[in-house]
Each structure stands twice: as structure tokens, then as C-alpha cells.
Amino acid sequence: MLKRSQWADLSLLLVAFMWGCTFLIVQSAVGALPPLAFNAVRFIGAAVLLVLITLVFYRKQWRQTSWKMLLHGSILGIFLFGGYAFQTIGLLYTTTSNAGFITGLSVVIVPFLAALLLRHRLSRISLISALLAAAGLYLLTFSGGGFTLNRGDSLVLLCAFAFALHISFTGIYAPRYPALPLAAVQMAVTGLLSLVFSLFTENLGPLSQLSDMIMQPEVLIALLVSIGPTSAFAFWIQTVSQQHTTPSRVAVIFATEPVFAALTGVLFAGEHLGWSAVLGCVCILTGMIASELQPGTPSPQPDTPDTCITDNKEISA
């Protein structure tokens, strides 16, 4: 029978699978709707969906909310928004390959943040699995080419730090609060910040034009997929799962996202994977398996008993 930590890791692998398999859909949509505007609709919609689910099925979880939870959920939302925003802006000045690889470097950053913030032991297996995943990301991203620095890379590096901070701080806050409200708060903050920055930095045109862009089939399908499976449910799963696994493992598991994206491109977009890319996929998967060979590090305990989620509630969430 699988342990809770193993169920958590499998759930996170499902999240990486969903993100990777929907990459082509989202990539097509942001060609018609500006990226920050897309993220605003995506995350605000995800927040509304999570609130509705909580009100209908998990009403008791609202009684466990507090101002402290709102603060910590907002911090997670700021990190998440920072990751998406820095990546979007950085892509204006760098290549997709550079952005993909540098974003993936969060897999190396997370173990050090976990050691600093959670006082997790920086084990040899954690470092080896992270370095294997990073090497695999390089091989997968730069198959047939090389890495050259340009002006947008520093912005994307900030994106990698933001995503690493989001994973690390989720490891701190997830055990303290009910999963659904915490996920809903960070979705709402990410969506609202995306909306504000979109209004100031993107040319959205009149409201009727924006409505027409949203109603385009490729945008509408991408939003439906993004609001539900890859945002609301994905970050709900992450929040619950990080009560039972370590941030370092989460980072390595999430490094499989480009593997699934590459496989989707081969199956549905006629793309071709060279031997370098195949070797990169193998390195990433080997790093993920290696991370499973070490015993799990317990998550920090909740600050107060009234914010703790019982085992049964954790499973149902």
C-alpha cells in the first residue's frame, strides 16, 4: 500500500502532466489574448471556482480561515504572480529556450531555500536529483543548440526564484491552513495583480474588443482548461500534497512538465525529439526517481491547533 508521501508525489506528477499536456493550448491562446490579461481571467476564474466548491462541499473550512491565513495566502499569490509576470516580460527580450531552461533552474534553487526556510537537511540525494533534473532540462531545451545569455535572462531568473519561493513557502503554509481557502486566496491575488498590471502594460483596446478576443475558440478552450484543471484543481492538489512531501521533491517532480510538453508536441504537433532531447527526458525522470529514494522530511507543524487540518479532511480536500 502506498504511503501518504507517495500519494502526494503521484498527485504532483499528475499536476505536472496536466501543465505539460496543455502547454500547446495555452501557447496558442496567448497569441490572441495578451498574456497578463489571460492570466487575470484564468486565476480570478480559478479563485471563484474554488470559493464555490468550498461553499457547497466544504463549508466548515471557512470557519478555519483567519487574517493570518489571508496574509500567508497573499504572499503565495505574490510569488506566483511574480513567476508568471517575470517570465512573460522576460520572453520579450529572450528566447523561449533560454526562458524554459532558466525557469527550470528553480529545481536547483528549491533545496537550498528548503534548507534555509524549513531547516531541511540538504542531502546528497536532493542535490543529485536536482542537478540531474537541471541537466535534463538543458539537454531537452537546447537540443541541437547552445545557451547564450541576453538581456531578458535576468528577468526570467527572477521568475525562477519566484517559483522556487512559491514552492518553498507552500511547504511552510500548507500544513497550517485548510487547503481550499488557502488555494483560493493565492489564485485571487495572482489574478488581481495580473489584471492591474495588464491594464497598465498591455494594449487591450475597448471592452468589446477584449470580449471578442476572449470568445475566440482557441482562447475560450484554453481558459476553460486553465481555470479548472490546470489552475484551481492543480494548485489545490499542490497545497494538499505539500502537507505530505518536501519542497525539494516537488521541484524535481515539476521539472517533468517540459517532458510531458515535449511528448505532447511530438504526438499532436508533429515535432521531433532528437537524441539530446530524449537523453534530457531520461535525466529528468532519473532525477525524479532518485528523489523518491530518500526518506521524506516531515512538514512543519501548524502554529495553533485550530488551524490544523485533520487527516480525514486532508484526504477529502
Please give the Cα distance from 102 to 161 (Å, whole number).
10
Provide the 10 A C-beta neighbour count for residue 128.
16
Q: Do residues 188 and 232 lie in contact, with contact meaning Cβ atoms separated by under 8 Å?
A: no
pLDDT tens by residue, 234-292: 999 999 999 999 898 999 999 998 888 888 888 887 777 788 888 988 999 899 888 87
pLDDT at 74 over 60: yes
Compare 154 and 210 and report the one with higher pLDDT: 154
Q: Does pTM surpass 0.75?
A: yes
Q: How many domains does the chain have?
A: 1
Sign of CA dihedral 196, 201, 204, 207: positive
Please give the Cα distance from 254 to 17 (Å, whole number).
9
Please give the Cα distance from 123 to 126 (Å, whole number).
5
Please give the Cα distance from 287 to 195 (Å, whole number).
37
Q: How far is CA 41 from the centre of its chain?
A: 17
Cβ-based neighbours of 158, under 8 Å, separated by 6 or more: 82, 86, 90
Which residue segment(s) compose the domain that 92 sits in?
Answer: 4-316
